[in-house]
Structure 1
Amino acid sequence: MNTDLLNLLQQRRSIYALGKNIKASNQEIVDLVEDTIQATPTAFNSQTTRAVFLFGDKHDQLWDIVVKRLKSEVPTEAAYEKTKQKIASFKAAYGTILYFTDTKVVHQLEKDFALYADNFATWAEQGQGSAQLNTWVALANNNIGASLQHYNPLIDDEVAKAFDIPEGWSLRAQMPFGEILSPAGDKDTMAKADQFKVLG
């Protein structure tokens, strides 16, 4: 069996030690990710995933929003210091992709296809997962590291205001990306006998 795709998937890891020295230009990254997301299938071809690219000062602004917002959420000053270090590692990256779901499209599909109305929110999340994974793999294939973060919904309102996010776009994830300064560690997988069942 051809294992080219498997090899690409195995390249994709959560990279937390990220830097700013990458060879691709901003436009090359945007083109790659836009094409990747548009090539990702969605239920009913609904295309509910949206993405916002943050570079330079806008990238820094996002992580400043996050670290400021988290101050009221952590229990102690010592815990906040650890939180600040973690967020600083994301800010040290080259850029960030914000992933959104266009809920207006989801709600319209619920109205248009009432028989399946209960499924469209779930299908939108499946589309998100597919788009995020495909983007992650595409970046890894270009030697660009990334991780996937979820500070939503804590930062939703401030992000919407700061970056002029359209009404109805629901923030689902944040993907800092950049130079790989340190590779990921070993990854554990569960026993196949516990995870899969083969019949016939």
Structure 2
Amino acid sequence: MAKDFLKSVEDRRTYYGISKEAVASDERIQEVVEHAVKHTPSSFNSQSARVVVLLGDNHDKLWNITKETLRKMVPADKFAPTEDKMNAFGSGYGTVLFFEDQKVVEGLQEAFASYADNFPIWSHHSSGMLQFVIWTALENEGFGASLQHYNPLIDNEVKQEWNVPESWKLIAQMPFGKPVAVPGEKEFQPLENRVKIYK
């Protein structure tokens, strides 16, 4: 039986300890991602989200690219923790790359000039919703994931390696795999400080 929606929201956590063991087929991963991209809302129904899913050697290549990019920036004597982190992400099964198509955003800015300043913000809102939907859906399949932001450092190499159109702006990276470590306890601020209800 499928999980209750709110239970799925609660169970979605950040997993840094992940492995390459498959817990769902590649076909199922594709089905989940495509369903999320199709049905996640976007401002003005712009459908500006673009996604690249990297599996197998392509997943490994992404985190090697990221590691070598950071190696040029982090002093050698301080690089070990960064390398460990990249290796941890690379130890997963795959990575979802989230993009927003700037041609779509710019087209909306031209068509609705009075809202022009808001469309880049709304584009990020749409991307955030898609990230959450895919993250939660992967969790429901038995994967653990985390959300990373190594853009814009890796943007150019990612576009070249995977033939990504120039208008696609990289927003986030989501490495995922079979969880091999339990997330730590999560602390919550009092809800009365965060929610107000008037009747």
Could you list the runs of 5+ residues in structure 2 that have no partner in the other structure? none
Partner residue, 2:81:
82
Match for residue 66 of structure 1?
A: 66
TM-score (normalised: structure 2): 0.95
Compute the displacement of 1:165 (Å).
0.5
Q: Distance in 2 between matches of 1:196 and 1:53?
A: 36
* 1:53 aligned onto 2:53: yes
Matched, 1:4 2:4: yes
5 Å-filtered alignment, 1:131-146, equals 131-146=130-145
Instruction: Tell me the TM-score normalised to structure 1 length.
Output: 0.95
**Aligned length, in residue pairs:** 197
Alpha-carbon RMSD: 1.2
1:126 pairs with 2:125: yes
* Offset, 1:88: 0.1
CA deviation after TM superposition for structure 1 residue 198, in Å: 2.2
CA distance in 2, matches of 1:37, 1:183: 28
Q: For residue 189 of structure 1, report the CA deviation from its aligned partner.
A: 1.3
Q: Summarize deviations over 1:9-61 as a string: whole Å, max 9, x none.
A: 01100000000112311121011111012110111100111000101111111
Partner of 1:154: 153
The residue matched to 1:53 in structure 2 has which SS? strand
Do the aligned partners of 2:15 and 2:145 also contact (CA within 8 Å) in 1?
yes
Distance in 1 (CA, whole Å) between partners of 2:167 and 2:132 is 23
Mind listing any 5+ residue stretches in structure 1 that lack a counterpart? Answer: none
Alpha carbons 2:23, 2:143 under 8 Å: kept: no
Tell me how far apart the structure 1 counterparts of residues 188 and 70 of structure 2 sit (CA, whole Å): 32
Report if aligned partners of 2:41, 2:126 keep a CA contact under 8 Å in 1. yes
